[in-house]
């Protein structure tokens, strides 16, 4: 949806607070501003702190991923932005609006895919999309959406009888019906087989061309790596890292992996120039972290020659997002 489409909106004859007007006007004056702003967000459930001082901002047209294990606070965060939950502290702005106060205005401009369910079991995909299309002033054609998500063959099959992956794709199509400016996808590919997952990934990537901003949560590393312009790693309700996948995996350290005889002198290895850290991960398998891999390789081979050690394989690589996560949080990203 373009800026032009949005301009007549403030003129609609409903009572809007002065703050809403200001927010909408600001949005027009600065179309390049942030689509989502989260500042020091806190949410508690009784004793448990689900979101603990989270801050990030998402510019328009970005695909942004919240990555973290189950219970990290991803869904809570996304549901506060969608207006389902009230924050206990901090501030959120979504398309310049307050999701609690300006919910009615916001709901016209966002698309929501819940983590699960949300669709009548006895209703067919075409019926459900057709229903939703009546809720928006400007909507996508249900038939075209069905084709877009690859549900043509089951368009008239009841939701209950669809496979898990088909159900998720219908939920995604449903989020797109209202031509949203901002799309919230809570674990969009959970429960999909690899083929459906690839289809969904290319679909989400293609939203970029339509200028839709996307906030997605995931606990799949590959999903974040493939889709997201930027990834926020969240653990225990806190932001651990925020950068593009490339920056995250290249950050400070590169990794040199060696295959060599067992029991090399790790103290000697660590003493070499440019070595940040050296470990024997398995007998004969070594991992060295460095900021200057080229220089390290020269030092390493010189050292091996002098020590009479045969280095059988040497591989220089970046950390995977999985390893970044492990290093930053100290635990595995459980699935």
Partner 1 sequence: MYEEAGEVGALLAQTRMELLLTLRRAEGVLITLVVPAVLLVFFASLGIAPPEYARPVDFLLPGMLALAVMSTGLVSLGIRTAYERSYGVLKRLGSTPLGRGRLLGAKVISVVAVVAAEIALLFGIAVVGYGWRPGGSLLWALLALALGTAAFSSIGLLLAGTLRAETTLAAANALYLLLLLLGGIVWPVERLPGPLALVGLLLPSNALAEGLRLSLGQQPGVPLAQILALALWFVAALAVASRTFRWE
Q: List residues binding partner 1 (CB under 8 A).
A: 12-14, 82-84, 104, 107-108, 110, 112, 114, 116-123, 127, 130-132, 134-137, 174, 178
**In angstroms, what is the minimal distance from the CB of 159 to partner 1?**
9
Distance CA 315, CA 313 (A): 7
> Which lies closer to partner 1 via its Cβ, residue 84 or residue 303?
84
DSSP H helix total and E strand total for the chain: 13, 13
**In angstroms, what is the minimal distance from the CB of 115 to partner 1?**
9
Q: What is the token pair recorded at 47?
A: 């004793």
Q: What is the token pair recorded at 116?
A: 């699960």
Q: How far is CA 308 from CA 214, 272, 274, 290, in A?
A: 55, 16, 21, 23
CA 180 to chain centre: 18
> Which lies closer to partner 1 via its Cβ, residue 73 or residue 178?
178
**In angstroms, what is the minimal distance from the CB of 248 to partner 1?**
31
Q: In which residue are the tokens 């008239």 written?
A: 156
CB 135 within 8 A of CB 112: no
Strand (E) or helix (H) holding 32 = none
Distance CA 53, CA 55 (A): 7
**In angstroms, what is the minimal distance from the CB of 46 to partner 1?**
16
**In angstroms, what is the minimal distance from the CB of 171 to partner 1?**
8
Distance CA 250, CA 245 (A): 8
> Which lies closer to partner 1 via its Cβ, residue 60 or residue 107?
107
> Which lies closer to partner 1 via its Cβ, residue 14 or residue 48?
14
- Three-class SS of residue 319? coil
> Which lies closer to partner 1 via its Cβ, residue 174 or residue 228?
174
Give me the residues paired with residue 48 across strands: 45
> Which lies closer to partner 1 via its Cβ, residue 119 or residue 212?
119
**In angstroms, what is the minimal distance from the CB of 118 to partner 1?**
3
**In angstroms, what is the minimal distance from the CB of 190 to partner 1?**
14
> Which lies closer to partner 1 via its Cβ, residue 170 or residue 296?
170
Residues 6 or more apart in contact with residue 199 via CB below 8 angstroms: 149, 150, 169
């Amino acid at each position: 949806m373009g800026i032009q489409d949005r301009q007549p909106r403030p003129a609609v004859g409903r009572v809007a607070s002065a703050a809403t007007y200001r927010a909408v006007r600001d949005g027009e004056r600065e179309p390049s501003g942030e689509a989502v702003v989260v500042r020091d967000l806190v949410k508690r459930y009784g004793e448990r702190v689900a979101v603990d001082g989270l801050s990030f901002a998402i510019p328009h047209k970005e695909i942004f991923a919240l990555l973290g294990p189950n219970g990290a606070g991803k869904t809570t965060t996304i549901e506060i932005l969608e207006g389902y939950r009230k924050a206990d502290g901090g501030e959120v702005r979504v398309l310049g609006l307050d999701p609690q106060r300006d919910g009615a205005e916001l709901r016209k401009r966002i698309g929501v895919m819940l983590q699960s369910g949300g669709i009548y079991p006895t209703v067919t995909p075409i019926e459900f999309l057709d229903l939703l299309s009546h809720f928006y002033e400007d909507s996508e054609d249900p038939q075209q959406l069905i084709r877009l998500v690859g549900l043509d063959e089951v368009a008239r099959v009841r939701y209950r009888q669809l496979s898990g992956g088909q159900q998720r794709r219908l939920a995604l199509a449903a989020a797109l019906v209202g031509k949203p400016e901002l799309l919230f996808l809570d674990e969009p590919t959970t429960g999909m087989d690899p083929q459906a997952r690839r289809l969904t990934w290319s679909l989400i990537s293609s939203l970029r061309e339509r200028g839709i901003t996307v906030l997605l949560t995931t606990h799949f590393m590959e999903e974040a790596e493939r889709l997201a312009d930027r990834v926020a790693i969240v653990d225990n309700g806190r932001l651990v890292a925020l950068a593009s996948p490339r920056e995250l995996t290249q950050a400070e350290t590169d990794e040199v992996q060696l295959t060599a005889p067992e029991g090399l002198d790790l103290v000697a290895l660590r003493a070499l120039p440019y070595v940040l850290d050296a470990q024997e991960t398995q007998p004969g398998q070594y991992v060295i972290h460095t900021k200057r891999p080229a220089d390290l390789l020269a030092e390493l081979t010189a050292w091996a020659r002098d020590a009479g050690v045969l280095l059988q394989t040497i591989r220089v690589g970046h950390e995977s997002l999985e390893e970044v996560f492990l290093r930053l949080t100290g635990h595995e990203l459980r699935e």
